[in-house]
Structure 1
């Protein structure tokens, strides 16, 4: 999967920057589930370091677990390429950190990805470009989109523009093309998300973003997401919010709703060494590298966390009655 793309002509690049639509509206993608309706996928975040910091080791274990589960796809929770995203469509970091690392046959499925804050430090539009699929056909990355996968609907959300500190510092460059004016972008995104959640009739609703809502890891809770997203998620019976950003693995339950907060940000560099106190209901925390698996049926969702050696270090499940609620 690590073949190189031909050089891109200037006209093609101009098309990407000025013709390719960049907007907050939630685009809709279809993924056909298995014949029995089940859905199996892996989740990894904060990974792109050319195999270093145990990225290759985690990738190997993901491949082994992928064989066991017969994967439908892989979810990436952002910070796909360190330290500053990719520079452009021909940046070798894309192949060196993605195509050349996740080489297992079981991982040659579609990867659905969102941008993280480190991705915004580079050429964000390049990661969003469909031209990258000429290099590796597995790659699919948009700011925000809906993935309809039969028994479950996934709502991938661009969380970086919500975080105030990225706009209050001049020490780093962020590629805000397509985001500014920020207030309008966030307002439209929240409106589109609410409409999509209300319309969804899927058995399971899963929201994916880069930044944690609840976390006891290095970065901690995201106050902006607690204020903007949590009311929408709870009001529309979202089952779980999956994120990266903190380089760890976490399972946190809501105090007053069924909503779960699941962090899978251990794709490479981890071991931060600090843990924050929280009034959240923390079920599991691992300050190290690894990934998560999720298995979904009509009545049950099972998820598990694995370390860089493939050991299952935590697992849990959520069940639903076979009787659908009366609307």
Structure 2
């Protein structure tokens, strides 16, 4: 089927603009935030200043703009995940930090990052039975949401890129080292292909911890370029969401797929180490300066468009762009 995704020209028209509350009569929408690499520290007090600032801004943004859910794209607990479902890090790094009143009843849909897989990742799945807002039903899963009072829907396909590609060795180039269980990796690829092929939703989003494209410290993930990126193109995916590199990036490929990298929940890195490995023209926005003190992406889908706003701690809009439905 011919791809019908259209992306507006990217204009840096809202850099450092103060956010304002949307009008009360705004059209029906599905709203959510994307936050990655927010997982605190393995040392007391088990959170970082940047994490607390991001959490405070996330709470304020949700209070002002609303959110149907939060999407966590992995590295939820640094450095080595959690040990079991009673691990104190759930409270010290998550519950006690993301504690704004506006966030208490908002579900978090969670996937694992490489640091989560250093620990007992099944304990994070099991924590779904402990916390009313922590939603992590399996290592990979999918969700479908209907935009209220419309016939427009959003499909969100959540991957475990560590199962798919292997864990990464940051001291050895940062690339995943290969799937530890090739059969499990192949099973996930077959599942992804089936989900993409059958998706009828107007917006089709795929998320994983590792980025497909990145100019920063870890760079493009070769495994995903080989196995996932061709599927994103073939099935007309609207956008791919990720973290892993500790900054904010927006890239758009030559088939108009948006690549939303939101990895600034806990650290900021201003690396451009792999810039030459990303095709010319793909990078549309980058922010990795430490004085930003973290950021996340806020997404709002209506029947007409999907807006993406990158919001830093303190409430400034860093960048904004718009995607359109695959069909009407």
Contact 1:47 1:267 in 2 (8 A): yes
Structure 1 residue 122: Cα displacement: 0.6
Name stretches of at least 5 consecutive residues in structure 1 with no aligned partner.
Answer: 1-35
1:203 aligns with 2:202: yes
Contact 2:73 2:113 in 1 (8 A): yes
- Aligned counterparts of 2:247 and 2:169: Cα–Cα separation in 1: 25
By relative contact order (CA 8 Å, sep 6+), the higher-ranking structure is 2
1:317 aligns with 2:317: no
Aligned residue for 1:138? 133
TM-score, structure 1 length as denominator? 0.80
Contact 2:114 2:167 in 1 (8 A): no
Contact 1:86 1:126 in 2 (8 A): yes
Q: 1:38 aligns with which of 29, 33, 36?
A: 29
Cα pair distance change 1:320/1:137, threshold 3 Å: closer
Structure 1 residue 167: Cα displacement: 8.8
Aligned residue for 1:118? 115
Aligned residue for 1:259? 257
- Aligned counterparts of 2:216 and 2:94: Cα–Cα separation in 1: 25
Aligned residue for 1:307? 312
Structure 1 residue 138: Cα displacement: 0.7
Aligned residue for 2:79? 83
- Aligned counterparts of 1:56 and 1:122: Cα–Cα separation in 2: 23
Structure 1 residue 68: Cα displacement: 1.8
Cα pair distance change 1:286/1:88, threshold 3 Å: same
Report the aligned-residue RMSD.
2.3
Q: 1:161 aligns with which of 160, 163, 172?
A: 163
Structure 1 residue 89: Cα displacement: 1.2
* 1:156-179 Cα deviation digits (max 9, x unpaired): 001013335649999xxx9x9xx8
Q: 1:96 aligns with which of 92, 103, 127?
A: 92
Q: 1:106 aligns with which of 102, 105, 111?
A: 102
Name stretches of at least 5 consecutive residues in structure 2 with no aligned partner.
Answer: 1-26, 41-45, 147-152
Q: 1:270 aligns with which of 264, 268, 271?
A: 268
1:54 aligns with 2:67: no
Structure 1 residue 198: Cα displacement: 1.2
Q: 2:66 aligns with which of 61, 64, 70?
A: 70
Contact 1:211 1:245 in 2 (8 A): yes
Between Structure 1 and Structure 2, how many residues are aligned?
A: 278
Structure 1 residue 320: Cα displacement: 3.9
- Aligned counterparts of 1:165 and 1:143: Cα–Cα separation in 2: 14
Aligned residue for 1:223? 222
3-state SS of 2:31 partner: strand
- Aligned counterparts of 2:129 and 2:163: Cα–Cα separation in 1: 28
3-state SS of 2:223 partner: helix
TM-score, structure 2 length as denominator? 0.80
Aligned residue for 1:286? 287
- Aligned counterparts of 1:37 and 1:185: Cα–Cα separation in 2: 39
Cα pair distance change 1:168/1:183, threshold 3 Å: farther
- Aligned counterparts of 2:167 and 2:70: Cα–Cα separation in 1: 30
Contact 1:74 1:107 in 2 (8 A): no
Aligned residue for 2:17? none
Contact 1:44 1:292 in 2 (8 A): yes
* 1:187-237 Cα deviation digits (max 9, x unpaired): 111111111111111110000100000001111000100010011111111
3-state SS of 1:54 partner: helix
- Aligned counterparts of 2:50 and 2:171: Cα–Cα separation in 1: 31
